[in-house]
Structure 1
Amino acid sequence: MILNKYIKGGVLLVCILLLASCSGSSGGGSDDDGGVTPPDPILPPEAALLASPAKDEECNQGNIVSVTQSRVTFQWNASANTNSYTHILKNLDTDVSTEQNTASTSITLTIARNVPYSWHVVSKSNKTTTTAKSETWKFYNAGEGVENYAPFPAELVAPAMGSTVPSPVTLSWSGSDIDNDIASYDVYLDTANPPTTLHENTTNTSINNIALNADTVYYWRVVTTDESDSNSQSQVFEFRTE
C-alpha cells in the first residue's frame, strides 16, 4: 500500500511538470516568430526602353554584307527585375517574325536590305512567369540608291482578328510612311481568303456603316499606296457578323 502511494505520487508529479513545460513553451501570447524572416516580394520585370535602330528610321544600313544583306545591331536599355530578354523582329513585307533570347541588352542579326521591319523586346525574370513588352518600333533597312520608301503595311485596328461584330460594320486601320507621302488606301473585303474584292479606295483610315450579311465570316486587308506608286499590303484579318 505504501509503495502504491509513492508510485501514484510520482506519476502525479511528472504530469504536473509536463503541463508546466507545455504551458511555458506555447502560451503567454509571445511575440516571438521563431526567427523566421518573411520572403521578399517577387517583383515582375519592367518593360525595356528601345534605343536603336531608331523609331521610323529610314536609312538604317548597319554593316553591309552583300547587295541584299547587312548586319544590324539592336540595342535597348536594361529593365528592372529582368534576367533575360526575347528580341522579336518582324519582316513587314513577308509578315514573318523571328525570335532570339539573350541575357544582354543588344543583339546583332544579319537581315535583308531594302525591307521594312518592326521590332520589340520582351523582358523576363527567373522568379515569375510575368513578362513585360516594350514599345514596337519600325525602321527601313535601306538598300542601294533608294530614293523613295514604300509605306509601312497598314495596321488593322477594327474589327479585331477573330472577333464577332454586329452589322453594319466599321473598318478602321492606321498607316505610316517614312516619306510621309501616302496617297490612298485600297480596302479589300470578301468572304474568300485572301480577299480579292475591292470594297473602296479612300484617303481616310476608316470606312463606316458597311452593311453585311448576318452570321458570315469576312476577310479584309488594306493596300497602302504612296505618291510614287509604291505600295504595301497589310495582314489579312477575319471577323464574323452577328
Structure 2
Amino acid sequence: MKRLIYIFSLCFLMFACSSPSTVEPDPDTLDPEEPSQIERLTVSLQFPHKDGLCNIGADITPTESTVVFEWEASEIAESYSIFVTNLVDGSTIEDETTEDKIGIVLNRATPYSWYVISKRGAVIAESETWKFYNSGPGVQTYAPFPATINSPDMAASVNAGNVNLRWTGSDVDNDIASYDVYLGTNNNPDIHATDVTASELNVSVTSGAIYYWKIVTKDAAGNTSESGVFQFRVL
C-alpha cells in the first residue's frame, strides 16, 4: 500500500513540475490592456492609399465602381470588419471578411474614408483611418477632403479666454489655397475668418457658452469642402 502511495505521489509531482503548455492561448483570454497584444492585432492599411486618388477598380456603371480594399493581415486576427464612409452624405458601408482584402461597390468621383477593425475572440483593435477619392470619368480636379478637426475635441470643455482651433487639411491635387473658419454660439455658425492659410486659429471665447465651429477648405481651382460642425463648452 505504501508503495502505491509513493508511486501516486511521484506521478503527481512530475505532472505539477512539468513544463507549461505551449498551446496557443484561447482568443478570449487576450488582454485588451496589453499593448503588445493589441499591436499584433492591429492591421496596417495598404490600399486605397492615404489621401490618394483611387483609379484602379472594376467599373460597373459610369457612376459606380468596385474598389478592392487591402490591408496587411494580422497574424492573430480571426476576422475583420471594414467601415467605408462617404464623406459627401455621411453614409457608411460595413462589411465582414476573414481575408486581408475585400471588394466594395462605391460611387465614383466621391471622397471616402475607411478603417478596419480586426477581431480575435472578444478583443478588437482599430486601424488608422485613411481618406481617398474614388476617381470619376472626365474629372480634371477634385475637391479637397473635408478637414480633420484636431482640437478642441467634439464636446470638449475648455477654459475661458483664448482657444486655439486646430485642424488638418488634405487634397489629392495638393492645391489647398486657404480655409474659412466658421464660429459662433448657434449650431449654424457664421463665418469668423476668411482665407486663413495656416491650419490653426486662436480665438477669444466667453465663459459659460457653447461654441460651434467648422472649417471650409478651398483649393486653387475653386473647389470647396466642409468639415461638418463641431462644438465645445467654455467653463
TM-score band w.r.t. shorter chain: 0.7 to 0.9
Structure 1 residue corresponding to 2:50, chosen from 47, 55, 58:
55
Please provide the CA RMSD for this pair.
2.6
Q: Does 1:179 align with 2:173?
A: yes
> Which residue of structure 1 aligns with residue 98 of structure 2?
103
> Which residue of structure 2 aligns with residue 233 of structure 1?
226
Alpha-carbon distance in 1 for matches of 2:114, 2:155: 24
Q: Does 1:83 align with 2:56?
A: no
- Answer whether contact 1:151 1:232 (CA < 8 A) is retained: yes
Bigger drift between 117-126 and 130-139 goes to 130-139
The 1:144/1:24 distance shift into structure 2, 3 A limit, reads closer
What secondary structure is seen at the aligned counterpart in 2 of 1:72? strand
Larger radius of gyration: 1
Percent identity of equivalent pairs: 40
What secondary structure is seen at the aligned counterpart in 2 of 1:87? strand
What secondary structure is seen at the aligned counterpart in 2 of 1:73? strand
After TM superposition, the score normalised by the length of structure 2 is 0.83
User: Which amino acid is 2:152 matched to?
Assistant: P
> Which residue of structure 2 aligns with residue 71 of structure 1?
66
Alpha-carbon distance in 2 for matches of 1:213, 1:51: 45
Q: CA shift at 1:156, angstroms?
A: 0.5
- Answer whether contact 1:154 1:234 (CA < 8 A) is retained: yes
Count of equivalent residues: 220
Q: CA shift at 1:96, angstroms?
A: 2.6
Q: Does 1:124 align with 2:119?
A: yes
- Answer whether contact 1:95 1:235 (CA < 8 A) is retained: no
Alpha-carbon distance in 1 for matches of 2:7, 2:137: 86
Q: CA shift at 1:23, angstroms?
A: 10
The 1:58/1:24 distance shift into structure 2, 3 A limit, reads closer
User: Which amino acid is 1:181 matched to?
Assistant: D
Alpha-carbon distance in 1 for matches of 2:173, 2:13: 74
Alpha-carbon distance in 1 for matches of 2:111, 2:77: 29
Alpha-carbon distance in 2 for matches of 1:189, 1:214: 15
- Structure 2 unmatched runs, 5+: 31-36
Q: CA shift at 1:49, angstroms?
A: 2.2
> Which residue of structure 2 aligns with residue 136 of structure 1?
129
> Which residue of structure 2 aligns with residue 216 of structure 1?
209
- Answer whether contact 2:48 2:54 (CA < 8 A) is retained: no
> Which residue of structure 2 aligns with residue 33 of structure 1?
16
Structure 2 residue corresponding to 1:204, chosen from 176, 198, 205:
198
- Answer whether contact 1:61 1:70 (CA < 8 A) is retained: no
Alpha-carbon distance in 2 for matches of 1:59, 1:133: 23
